[in-house]
Amino acid sequence: MIIPIGHESDKVRRLPWVSFFLMASCLVIFVLTSVDISKKSEELESTAKELVNYYIQHPYLNLDPETKKLLFGEKENEDVEEMLATYRRRESRKIHLFQDEEQQKLDQLSQKLKNTRDNAPYRKYGYVPAQKSFIGLVTYMFIHGGLLHLLGNLLLLYLTGPFIEDVWGRPIYAVFYITAGIFSGFMFSLYYPHFNGPLIGASGAIAGLMGAFLIRYWKTKIKFFYMFFIFIRGTFKAPAWVMLPIWLALEIFSVSAIDSINAEGGGVAHWAHIWGFIFGVVVAAGMKRFKIEEKYVHPKIEAQVHFVDEGYKAFEEATQKINEGKADEAYALLLVAARKNPMDKDVVEGLWNQGKELGKEKEAAEFYIRMIESEIRHDLMDVAFAHFADLKEKVPQASISMTCKFTLMTYLTKHQDYKEAKELASELIEEVDLNSSPGLLQNFASAASEHSPEIAKKVIELCLEHPGITDEQKDVLKTKLKELQSRLPESPPVSDMGEAHAVVSNTEQLTAELESQLGLKPEVQPAVESEGQAGVEFEGQQAVELEGQSELSPEVQPVDEPVVQQGVEAEGQPIVRADKPESSPAQNQPIMAVKATPLSVNDGKIALNMDEIGQQLLPLNKVKSIAVAEIAPDQELPYLLIDLFLDDPKTNDHKIRTIRLLSTSFDPTKFSPGIQDQQDALKVFVSVLLKLSGATAYPDEDSILLDAPQSFSSIDNYEKSILS
């Protein structure tokens, strides 16, 4: 089974009222006629039974051929006649005194059966080729033989009609649709002129739309859902110029097969489909040849359009640029449109495809990631996984949110795609920690046990430390852990934030490394050398190695000559490492910013992974003020900047220290379990920092809570605004 479910060109300039009217008409008429059809079916069945019984009881009577065919069909009629022949021979020897009255009653029953049939909606409003009713050529398009027949036609009408209506205009479209239906029904009657059954359904008119769609949108890729034997299913895309001719070829094959069996017609009206499609192709080709759309239709539509979807407009303009060979200009148009409406799927897909061709995948990846996460939230898992695989192939370092990644991994596990599920599990194990929700961790362990026992073991060990998991649940997890340990070799424990916290022994102040990086002199304290750890010399100063990181001994005094090391002042001037000057404050720079990535927030402290220093803890009570701003450079993606000021930015001091977080460097949903939208999660993250630190909002609370963040074209402009 293959069903079309969408296509690339799914934007229109105006609401397709004619298409909506046609769809609504078919639906309303189906509902209204369903009751009448049910009643007529019962009446027809009752009359037929009465007639058959009376005819069998009186085999010597004459029943007209039309009624016989209606009752018994073509082949069954012959069998019935053979059966009644014996009775007729026996009855012929008897004298039937009331034969005329009996024949009259049989004729009455026969006529009643025909009248009931003719008054049924199918025959009353359908088109009967043997009767050749012009009204029937119009009304048959709105009558359907069942719910599946109706839904199938409405789906195809929805996928083709609005787009032909959009480019041809409502009047031409309405006339075309009705004419295509009339033409297809008429051509069907030419092939079966004596067919006495009703032709019903909008298939002929919709086949005309499909033919027109082939000419007008021949490059458009149509999305299909396929399913074979229940278990084999998925989606694929193929251009219209490939799939629609294949559909036509199947119709021609089907009609040839049916005609070889039943030359009088019946069943599916394949000839109506074929001629409707041909009609649509011819009309659309004529419209294109004489440029009717460009000369007459398009200008009038543009003059009437009051609301234009910007995404559609940008997509159309970009498509035109691509056809003209101006790929760079097309990409620039799509980039601007994506910034304005990042959830416009067509714009984002177009941006991504163009980005791949131009080598700008990294720039387009941010919007592509949002689209993938939206698809996952809307349970479009097959599509989301295909897009995610494309993303990882082109931008391996790109990643979606932890929640979406877990949902995708669970889906792949259920569908036994263990290879891909294991890769996602390997990424997830690096992201989960004690701040992750208990439910997510337990489900992660359950899913990973099917394809990644080693990862499942690590997740369970993390669950056993999680305070949000009950003792009963932990007992179950311990049992599961024993099962895994019996199959796996011993492995080291999973790193978590507990190790990051152990790096800093004194959580009441910043480490000497952090103090030095921010241009402060360390306080004089006795040196400490941990037992079992060797002291190492660092530019003439005694340092202590603590779990793989160096903490400068605070007993060191400033030296007279400048030493090239990060953060040590010589003669009142900060010294910058020569290999990475951008990470440390520059000489005479008023705002001294250190970029960092947040890892967790616990006990009034925020764990940070800081440039050139590594993991450190910052007590939030040291934060004086928090500022949030949007940085939107020209021709680059906008992002949010969060400054945790250790000095009041309103002070006159020329050294304003700040820890700088960028929205591009971390996933805020990690800090807000249950919130999948990154913007909302970031808002919660900043609100929590404000509450825990007691810091002031700079410049105001609205900006801080992301309701109206100030926007700057560069970080320099933002810092000038802070200093002013």
DSSP notation for 611-670: TTTEEEEEEGGG--EEEEEEE--TTS--EEEEEEESS-TTSS-S-EEEEEEEGGGS-GGG
CATH 1.25.40.10 holds for 309-400: yes
Give residue for tokens 């036609």: 153
**pLDDT of 204 strictly over 90:** yes
- CA–chain centroid gap for 586, Å, is 46
The CB-based long-range contact list for 694-701 (8 Å cut-off, 24+ gap) reads 694/621, 695/620, 695/623, 695/624, 695/625, 695/626, 695/644, 695/645, 696/624, 696/625, 696/626, 697/625, 697/626, 697/627, 698/625, 698/626, 698/627, 698/645, 698/649, 698/650, 698/722, 699/627
Contact 55, 63 (CB under 8 A): yes
Judged by average pLDDT, the poorest of 237-251, 442-456, 472-486, 689-703 is 689-703
Q: Tell me the pLDDT tens digit for each residue of 348-407.
A: 888 898 888 888 888 889 999 999 998 898 888 888 888 998 898 889 888 888 889 888
pLDDT band with cut points at 50, 70 and 90 for residue 12:
confident
pLDDT band, very low/low/confident/very high, at 248 (cuts 50, 70, 90) = very high
**Residue 398 Cα distances to 87, 233, 327, 372, angstroms:** 85, 28, 24, 12
Quick one: pLDDT band at residue 446, thresholds 50, 70, 90?
confident
Look up residue 582 and give its DSSP letter: G
Q: Phi and psi of 91, rounded to 5°?
A: -75, -20
DSSP single-letter state for residue 522 = P
Asked if 238 and 221 count as a contact pair (C-beta separation under 8 A), the reply is: yes
The two tokens of residue 356 are 């791949």
Mean pLDDT of 233-252: 92
More confident residue, 582 or 341: 341
**Phi, psi at 591, each rounded to 5°:** -100, 120
**Which range has the worst mean pLDDT, 196-200, 415-419, 574-578, 623-627?**
574-578
Give the amino acid at 156.
L
Contact 58, 105 (CB under 8 A): no
Contact residues for 542 (Cβ-Cβ < 8 A; gap 6+): 527, 535, 553, 555, 556
Long-range contacts (CB closer than 8 Å, 24 or more residues apart) made by 101-107: 102/58, 102/61, 103/61, 103/62, 105/54, 106/51, 106/54, 106/55, 106/58, 106/61, 106/62, 106/63
Give the residue-averaged pLDDT of 108-130. 90
Residue 234: how many other CB atoms lie within 10 Å: 14
CB 278 within 8 A of CB 272: no
Q: What is the pLDDT averaged over residues 304-310? A: 56
What does the block give as tokens for 280? 């649509």
- The rounded percent of the chain whose pLDDT value lies above 90 is 23
Contacts of 524 by beta carbon, 8 Å cutoff, 6+ apart: 554, 555
Q: 402-493 is classed in which CATH architecture?
A: Alpha Horseshoe (1.25)
- pLDDT, residue 557, reads 35
Residue 169 to residue 162: CA distance in whole angstroms: 10
Amino acid identity at 451: H
- Higher local confidence (pLDDT), 525 or 221: 221
589 confidence band (pLDDT: 50, 70, 90):
low
CA distance 674 to 105: 76
Predicted pLDDT at 88: 65
Q: Give the separation between CA 191 and CA 200, rounded to whole angstroms.
A: 16
331 has pLDDT over 60: yes
DSSP calls for 448-517: HTTT-HHHHHHHHHHHHH-TTS-HHHHHHHHHHHHHHHHHS---PPPP-HHHHHHT-S-TTS--HHHHHH
Per domain, the residue ranges of the chain are 1-257+267-308, 309-400, 402-493, 511-522+581-724
DSSP 121-190: HHHHHSB-TTT--HHHHHHGGG--SSHHHHHHHHHHHHHHHHHHHHHH-HHHHHHHHHHHHHHHHHHHHH
Quick check: 132 and 189 in contact, CB under 8 A? yes
Question: For position 527, what pLDDT does the model report?
Answer: 36
Q: Is the pLDDT of residue 125 over 80?
A: yes
456 touches 491 (CB < 8 A)? no
Within 10 angstroms of residue 272's Cβ, the number of other Cβ atoms is 28
556 with 549: CB under 8 angstroms? no
Nearest to 374 by CA among 408, 419, 350, 340: 408
Residue in 215, 220, 210 with CA at minimum distance from that of residue 284: 215
Q: Is 6 helix (H, G, I), strand (E, B) or coil?
A: strand
* Residue 162's pLDDT band (cuts 50, 70, 90): very high
Q: pLDDT category, 92, cuts 50, 70, 90?
A: low
Residue carrying structure tokens 């229109």:
12
69 Cβ neighbours under 8 A, 6+ residues apart: 77
- What is the per-residue pLDDT for 705? 64
Q: Contact at 8 Å (CB) between 501 and 617?
A: yes
* 649-681: pLDDT as tens digits: 776 556 788 999 998 888 888 887 667 777 778
User: What is the predicted pLDDT for the residue at 298?
Assistant: 79
Q: What is the CA radius of gyration of the chain?
A: 38
* Section 63-79 average pLDDT: 75
Q: Is the pLDDT of residue 408 over 80?
A: yes
**According to the model, what pLDDT value does residue 599 have?**
87
Report the alpha-carbon angle 643-648-650, nearest 5: 105
When pLDDT is cut at 50, 70 and 90, the band that residue 199 belongs to is: very high
Q: What is the pLDDT of residue 309?
A: 58
Amino acid at 646: L
More confident residue, 445 or 635: 445
- Rounded distance between C-alpha atoms, residue 673 and residue 680, angstroms: 11
Q: Are 172 and 195 in contact (CB under 8 A)?
A: no
**CB contact at 8 A, 668 and 685:** yes
The string of pLDDT tens digits covering residues 502-550 is 333 333 343 444 444 444 433 333 333 333 333 333 333 333 333 333 3
Nearest to 268 by CA among 335, 206, 200, 354: 200
Provide the token pair at 669.
């949903």
Residue 5 pLDDT > 80: yes
Equal fold, 309-400 vs 402-493: yes
345-359, 663-677, 688-702, 705-719 — most confident range: 345-359
Q: What is the pLDDT of residues 31-56, one digit of tens each?
A: 999 888 888 888 888 999 998 888 88
Q: Which residues contact 96 (CB under 8 A, 6 or more apart)?
A: 60, 102
